[in-house]
């Protein structure tokens, strides 16, 4: 595995929200692609038994030689689980439904919340960014990702009930900091599925800005048919329709993320 060409440490970021359907996987995959396009070495880890990030990159889940399940059950073999995504500078640890059984088996295992941390430790020197796409729950798989991560990106759908979920997630992150990972930080909240034609979407953004003024990303990810279509073709939005509103929004979000992480573009 090649050494990274950028100076500085590896940034390990978890994308987490216990609510499903908020654009979490779309954000993880799109950020991974955009970071790789900027010349950074990226590893995307699919931590969701649904394996949506894996499918989004065009990998067939029924032909995977190794998955995140293997990564967690035997962290010492982590390097053997990493696969190429078929894109330059973008690698993947894929997932399938077996990951759900791994979560059950880990319940009574030693260092059960540290398995992901242990597995990623020898890989960090080869990457500038490691992105962890968490499942829509706050269970052991998400806890493993949060223990391994330096920071969290929270995708949040522009709807009223999302605010309640954000408060719950923030409480969970506070507990993780107290008990497992005191250096974990919230990198930012990404507002997704934004429709500027509705008053509700604007009100939700304003409410998040009021409660978390330093956390919300300025870039708003629009509600977009093209974003929904891209995974069915096994492509990232920057490949499927690079001139679409969704592609341009994720490019802008990546620029904003890099500025927050104090890295050169």
- pLDDT the model gives residue 8: 63
- pLDDT the model gives residue 3: 38
- pLDDT the model gives residue 159: 87
Strand-pairing partners, residue 186, are: 152
Domains of the chain by start residue, with CATH? 11-259 (3.40.50.300)
pLDDT tens over the chain, length 265 residues: 333 344 468 999 999 999 889 999 999 999 999 999 999 999 999 999 999 999 999 999 888 999 999 999 998 889 999 999 999 999 999 999 999 988 888 888 888 999 999 999 999 999 999 999 999 988 999 999 999 999 999 999 998 887 778 888 888 899 999 999 999 999 999 999 999 888 989 999 998 988 888 899 999 999 999 999 999 999 999 999 999 999 999 999 999 999 998 754 3
- pLDDT the model gives residue 17: 93
Do β-strands 216-222 and 185-194 pair in parallel, antiparallel, or remain unpaired?
A: parallel
- pLDDT the model gives residue 2: 37
SS3 sequence of the chain? CCCCCCCCCCEEEEECCCCCCCCHHHHHHHHHHHHHHCCCCEEEEECCCCCHHHHHCCCCHHHCCCCHHHHHHCHHHHHHHCEEEEECCEEEECCCCHHHHHHHHHHHCCCCCCHHHHHHHHHHHHCCEEEEECCCCCCHHHHHHHHHCCEEEEEEECCCHHHHHHHHHHHHHHHHHHHCCCCCEEEEEEEEEECCCCHHHHHHHHHHHHHCCCCEEEEEEECCHHHHHHHHHCCCHHHHCCCCHHHHHHHHHHHHHHHHCCCCC
């Amino acid at each position: 595995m090649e050494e990274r060409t950028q100076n500085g440490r590896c940034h390990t970021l978890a994308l987490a929200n216990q609510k499903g359907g908020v654009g979490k996987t779309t954000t993880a995959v799109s950020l991974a692609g955009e970071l790789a396009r900027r010349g950074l070495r990226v590893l995307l880890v699919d931590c969701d038994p649904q394996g949506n990030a894996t499918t989004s990159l065009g990998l067939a889940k029924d032909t995977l030689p190794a998955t995140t399940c293997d990564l967690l059950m035997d962290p010492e073999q982590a390097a053997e689980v990493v696969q190429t995504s078929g894109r330059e500078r973008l690698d993947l640890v894929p997932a399938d439904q077996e990951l759900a059984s791994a979560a059950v088996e880990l319940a009574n295992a030693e260092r059960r919340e540290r398995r992901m941390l242990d597995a990623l430790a020898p890989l960090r020197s080869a990457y500038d960014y490691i992105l962890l796409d968490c499942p829509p729950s706050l269970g052991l798989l998400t806890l493993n990702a949060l223990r391994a991560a330096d920071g969290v990106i929270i995708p949040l759908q522009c709807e009223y009930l999302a605010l309640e979920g954000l408060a719950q997630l923030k409480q969970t992150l506070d507990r993780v900091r107290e008990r497992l990972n005191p250096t974990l930080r919230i990198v930012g909240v990404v507002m997704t599925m934004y429709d500027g034609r509705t008053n509700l979407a604007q009100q939700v953004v304003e409410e998040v800005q009021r409660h978390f003024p330093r956390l919300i990303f300025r870039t708003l990810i629009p509600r977009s048919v093209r974003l929904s279509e891209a995974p069915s073709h096994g492509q990232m939005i920057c490949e499927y329709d690079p001139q679409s509103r969704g592609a341009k929004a994720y490019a802008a979000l990546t620029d904003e993320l890099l500025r927050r992480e104090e890295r050169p573009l």
